[in-house]
Amino acid sequence: MSVRDSLARSLHGRLDDVQGDAGYGDPAEHPPRMGFFTDTSVCIGCKACEVACKEWNEVPDDGYALSGMSYDNTQALGASTWRHVAFVEKPLHPTTTDLGLPGMGPPGWDTHESGLPRAAPAGADQATESGGANDDAGVRWLMSSDVCKHCTHAGCLDVCPTGSLFRTEFGTVVVQPDICNGCGYCVSACPYGVIDLRKEDGRAFKCTLCYDRLKEGQTPACAQACPTESIQFGEVDELRERADQRLAELHEKGVDVARLYGRDPEDGVGGDGAFFLLLDEPEVYGLPPDPVVPTRDIADMWKHVGAAALTLVGLGVASFVSSAGRRR
């Protein structure tokens, strides 16, 4: 679809039928919107998702470099990494100096029924209290499997000049490599930095949410491989309910740091088709705190462009009229 076509669609704000907006007709005429809910609180960082994704989609390796960034050696999403597990090591009590006194705990500790101190305030499934009475402070190790967000308003799709990027009947966003001309507009249009060009190839690649598997009624490879159900695949509406439930459950357990990311249909991209439960600020995981689709302002921009054009035309006409007058 070209920029002109995209003007026919909504470019930002809440959108409940993303496929309908893309021309798939009424909700009854297309399948429900499908997506991922990635619950990072139960992620164990096994990277099975990364491997399953590459195996299924025949994505090449991404180089053999020890990054030194904890156990994260693929480092970021890119043309050859469509699932990426982030590993974040964080001191548990960055400001507390543990003096090693027996029974000492950081302020706010209480005890739950097991007799263990709740690892509040950081507390969460992924927030173990470790070695409270030793010299060094405890550590948290956050793990999160990141993926293309399949935005409601996808910047990549909106700017693609060849129609290589398209919205599927499942509401997902997919690149057709045979049409991609490698212009790279999509790369700068993605507010999350997901899509990228493969250097040796020149074209753009990213997660397809296993479009081929979805067409066969199958679960995407990553979700299929995830042993702990951290990656959940399903209808976006249902996943949102599940996410709300899980969040409430964690909050009830005192895990106040838990939050949803990308779930809100009112956010800068109209909500994500792949959204997350995080145990810290999005920035900690390398996610933008407030992503906005760059095309949000495109309508305004076109208004300005239109006004400018009219002005130019007006000036031109005026000059013609005036010169004609002079001739007269």
**Interaction site with other proteins (CB under 8 A):** 42, 44-48, 50-51, 54-55, 60-66, 68, 70-71, 73-74, 89, 91, 100, 102-104, 114-117, 119, 125-126, 128-143, 227-229
Residues 6+ apart with CB under 8 A from 54: 60, 61, 82
Bridge partners, residue 151, by sequence? 272
Among residues 144 and 152, whose Cβ is nearest to other proteins?
144
Closest distance to other proteins from the beta carbon of 64 (Å): 4
Among residues 142 and 160, whose Cβ is nearest to other proteins?
142
**Contact criterion met (CB below 8 Å) for 92 and 130:** yes
Where residue 262 falls (left for φ over 0; alpha for ψ -120 to 50; beta otherwise) is left
Closest distance to other proteins from the beta carbon of 98 (Å): 10
Closest distance to other proteins from the beta carbon of 125 (Å): 5
Among residues 34 and 48, whose Cβ is nearest to other proteins?
48
Closest distance to other proteins from the beta carbon of 128 (Å): 5
- What CA–CA distance (Å, rounded) separates 19 from 168? 7
Closest distance to other proteins from the beta carbon of 85 (Å): 9
Burial category of 297 from C-beta neighbours within 10 Å (exposed 0-12, middle 13-18, buried 19 and up): middle
Among residues 68 and 107, whose Cβ is nearest to other proteins?
68
Among residues 91 and 316, whose Cβ is nearest to other proteins?
91
Alpha carbon distances (Å) from 327 to 52, 314, 321: 76, 20, 10
Q: Per the structure block, which two tokens stand in for 124?
A: 């969460």
Among residues 7 and 46, whose Cβ is nearest to other proteins?
46
**Contact criterion met (CB below 8 Å) for 197 and 182:** yes
Closest distance to other proteins from the beta carbon of 95 (Å): 15
- DSSP, res 146: E
- DSSP, res 50: H
